[in-house]
Amino acid sequence: MLTTDPIADMITRIRNANMVHKDELLIPHSKMKLAIARILEREGYVKAVEEKKDNKQTWIHVSLKYVKGEPVIRGLRRISTPGRRVYNGYQHIPVSTPELGMAIVSTSQGIMTSREARKKKIGGEILCEIY
């Protein structure tokens, strides 16, 4: 299936799997989606992320994380879309705190959290926010 917004597709897959309390899910592979998934893993929103290859395609295998039966990811939404790109300088990147969530930003130095982008003083495209 060809989608016009692969990142929105990834976010929707994670959100849907979370709502039905699935333990894991597969997402079609791309470098950007893998970078986003690795950030989610590093920040503690998912248990594990790994690449799986079958004979035709590479997949991103994501193990979701739950605490006392409740999903760690309470909300996940796409900010910048193919039809409406949202770019911000580092001064205007949303401030993130561990309790309130974070934004994921695509910068000239790669994909990183809003906290890292502000620290490095680089702006970019606000891909999504998670809380």
18-51: per-residue pLDDT in tens? 999 999 999 999 999 999 999 999 999 999 999 9
- Ranges of each domain in the chain: 6-130
Query: Which helix or strand (DSSP H or E) is residue 51 part of?
Result: strand 46-53
Q: Mean pLDDT, the chain, as a whole number?
A: 93
pLDDT of residue 121: 95
- Write out pLDDT tens, residues 55-66: 889 999 999 999
Structure tokens at 74: 């309470």
Alpha-helical runs (H) found in the chain: 6-19, 31-42, 114-120
- pLDDT level of residue 52 (50, 70, 90 thresholds): very high
Indicate the class that CATH gives domain 6-130: alpha beta
